[in-house]
Amino acid sequence: MPQTDLSKYSNDWYQTGGSLLKRTVWYCLSACFLSSFFPFNGFKIGLLRLFGARIGKGVVVKPRVSIKYPWNLSLGDHVWIGERVWIDNLALVTIGSNSCLSQDAFVFCGNHNYKKTAFDLMTQAVTLEEGVWIGARAVVCPGVTCYSHAVLAAGSVATRDLEAFSVYQGNPAVKMKERKLE
């Protein structure tokens, strides 16, 4: 019976969109100014834009945020990214206007194919449409779209798309009720 053999792993096909120099400079600057307790939001926004992130107006990025590749990030207007949020964007992450990622939320675009002996890398984009709220310590998995004004409750895991104006909870997240705004 075949077994996993990580010595055969190769992600040579994967293109980050950034040269080794660009990635190295980003990691160093990110460690100093994004992943740290550095409090100056405007500077962080400017740094993200300098490295290719598309960012609207009124965006708030709290301290100790990790963003793998800013060139794979698109944020609408008035997006809030809470403390210790991790955006592991091996593919494009698009976050619509007026969306919120609460503290310790995790959005990731990569996974491994456990059916392959070499544990092949797989990547898929993630989209959070306008007005989405990802609760504290919630996880959004590769390929998921959270449609307009969907809510993922604290500690929940979205493994498939979330319907618009709906509240999801659990692991895996299931629809609990409609979201009614007043």
Which CATH number belongs to the domain containing residue 65 in this structure?
A: 2.160.10.10
Band of pLDDT at residue 17, cut at 50, 70 and 90: confident
Total structural domains within the chain = 1
Q: For residue 156, give the 3-state DSSP assignment.
A: coil
Mean pLDDT for the stretch of residues 90-105: 98
Mean pLDDT of 30-54: 96
pLDDT of residue 112: 96
Q: Would 139 be classed as within a structural domain?
A: yes
Residue 8 in any domain: the answer is no
Mean pLDDT of 30-55: 96
Q: Which domain holds residue 160?
A: 18-178
Q: Is there a contact between 139 and 158 (Cβ–Cβ < 8 Å)?
A: yes
Res 128: pLDDT? 99
- Domain-located, residue 5: no
Residue 9 lies in a domain: no
Grade residue 16 by pLDDT with cuts at 50, 70 and 90. Answer: confident
Residue 122 lies in a domain: yes
Confirm whether pTM is higher than 0.85.
Answer: yes
Whether residue 120 lies inside any domain: the answer is yes
Helix or strand run (H / E) with residue 26: helix 20-33
Structural domain contains residue 104: yes
Q: Does any domain span residue 86?
A: yes
Please, are residues 48 and 55 in contact by the beta-carbon 8 Å criterion? yes
